[in-house]
Amino acid sequence: MSDGESERTFVMVKPDGVNRGLVGTVISRFEDRGLKLVGAKFIQMEDDLAQEHYGEHEGKPFFDGLVEFITSGPVMAMVWEGQDATRQVRRMMGATDPAESAPGTIRGDLGLDLGRNVIHGSDHEDPGANEREINLFFDETELVDWNRADEDWLYE
């Protein structure tokens, strides 16, 4: 998706972020940026959903650890909307390894360990990732179309 187009993207605060009380901080960062929350669920992920979510890593040595971790506590699954939302979210999250994440990013400010990096977001380089991940966690009826009061001030 090119710059300037509105899109929806999937974001999840992982069990470490939930247990550390960072859900509100993460939501505030995206809202402050101008993105719009259109869906949210606080869930305990089951093994089958976790295996499907991380399916591209099946067979890799770290797959079982990913599934074990993501099912170890509740997660906050969300859908955010805005112009170029996926790329914006990925930049705000920072590098997968918090040690490589710039200060000011979510992982750079809040994470310390590669395996406990607070947040997941759809891959902006995989054109099908958003739709696939959103559909794994949400039915269309669970997503809300609405307008932020400040949208006229966010976009030309």
Q: Tell me which amino acid residue 93 is.
A: M
Check: pTM over 0.85? Answer yes or no: yes
| Catalytic-labelled residue, pool 53, 57, 120, 124 | 120
Neighbours of 36 (CB within 10 A): 21
14-31: average pLDDT: 98
Within a 13 Å sphere around the CA of 54, how many CA atoms are in the beta-carbon half? Answer: 23
Dihedral angle over CA of 134, 137, 142, 148, nearest 10: -50
74-90: average pLDDT: 97
Tokens for 124, please give them.
């902006």
pLDDT band at 1 (very low <50, low <70, confident <90, very high): very low
Has 120 been annotated as catalytic? yes
pLDDT one-digit tens code per residue, 106-156: 999 999 999 999 999 999 888 899 999 999 999 999 999 999 999 999 998
Residue 4 pLDDT: 59
For 6-45+74-147, the fitting CATH number among 3.40.50.620, 3.40.50.300, 3.30.70.141, 3.90.1150.10 is 3.30.70.141
Domain ranges for the chain = 6-45+74-147
Residues 6+ apart with CB under 8 A from 122: 9, 10, 11, 86, 89, 129, 130, 133, 134
